Amino acid sequence: MGTTELTPRQQDVYTFVQRYVENNGYPPTLQEIAHGLGIQPNAARTHLLLMEKKRAVRYVPGISRGIELLLRRPAGIPIYGTAPAGHPFLSQENIVDTFEVRKYLTASDDIFGVYVRGDSMKGAELATGDLLFVDPKREPRNGEIVVASVEGQPTIKRFYRENGPIILRPENKKYKPIVVNQSDDNFRILGVVVGMIRALDKRKIDALTEEHRSHSRALRSKGPGQPAW
């Protein structure tokens, strides 16, 4: 089942617990849920019991923080690297990582990630290691940053269309614009950049995620009576 099968208030409870776990590494108490949602602790308990019947959570009354979320989390988006010889850029063989982008922005099902390499877009403050989120369903507008495939190689540039030809313009005077025609067989717009996480920010996020995982493992190792999440 999904959260669409929960009532609106139950969805609120589920989302509150989910975000609390993401931020703290362990589930909230009934009092914390009640305070966060402006309801009574008994109401929070009733919602959890009903959600347990729907198999959305596992709730152990009488145990502080005895809540486990059971609904499947969305899979992480694929992040693509440099295309190996003989394979297109957006191929399974070219997936180098995944990222749970839905924690940080609303994403379409087809959104993918790509790491910045090189300095051709330094004027747009894009640096090597930055992670870009790319929407392949969005139609590019003049001035937007896109990921394109030219002669089988991925490139990140600003998109412009002027009287027919498409211009992929870098943000560094060391590089020349790429001029192509939409009909060229060796050219394809892969998607429009809709978000990003800088390399330093991603390292911080990865470190916090690992810290939360370590904390959860330590709590589980204490034996019976501790909730699993």
Q: What is the pLDDT of residue 107?
A: 47
Q: Which helix (H) or strand (E) holds 8?
A: helix 8-24
Give, in words, the CATH class of 3-73. Answer: mainly alpha
pLDDT band at 185 (very low <50, low <70, confident <90, very high): confident
30-71: pLDDT as tens digits: 999 999 999 999 999 999 999 999 998 999 888 889 999 887
CA gap 100, 75 in Å, rounded: 7
| 137-158 average pLDDT score | 91
Q: What are phi and psi of 10, to 5 degrees?
A: -65, -35
Q: How many residues does the chain have?
A: 229
For the chain, the domains span 3-73, 77-203
pTM for the model: 0.54
pLDDT band at 171 (very low <50, low <70, confident <90, very high): very high
Catalytic, out of 157, 174, 214, 222: 157
User: With 0-12 CB in 10 A as exposed, 13-18 as middle and 19+ as buried, what is 106?
Assistant: exposed
Q: What is the pLDDT of residue 77?
A: 77
Catalytic, out of 120, 183, 202, 221: 120
Q: What are phi and psi of 168, to 5 degrees?
A: -105, 105
User: With 0-12 CB in 10 A as exposed, 13-18 as middle and 19+ as buried, what is 125?
Assistant: exposed
Res. 105: pLDDT tops 60:
no
Task: Tell me which CATH homologous superfamily contains domain 77-203.
Answer: Umud Fragment, subunit A (2.10.109.10)
Catalytic-residue membership of 108: no
Return the HEC string of 68-114. Answer: EECCCCCCCEEEECCCCCCCCCCCHHHEEEEECHHHCCCCCCCCEEE
Catalytic-residue membership of 216: no
| 205-222 average pLDDT score | 54
Res. 87: pLDDT tops 70:
no
Q: What is the pLDDT of residue 191?
A: 92
CA gap 137, 157 in Å, rounded: 17
Contact criterion met (CB below 8 Å) for 95 and 77: no
CA nearest to 26, candidates 34, 35, 17: 17
Q: What is the pLDDT of residue 219?
A: 46
pLDDT band at 96 (very low <50, low <70, confident <90, very high): confident
Residue the block writes with tokens 């589920």: 14
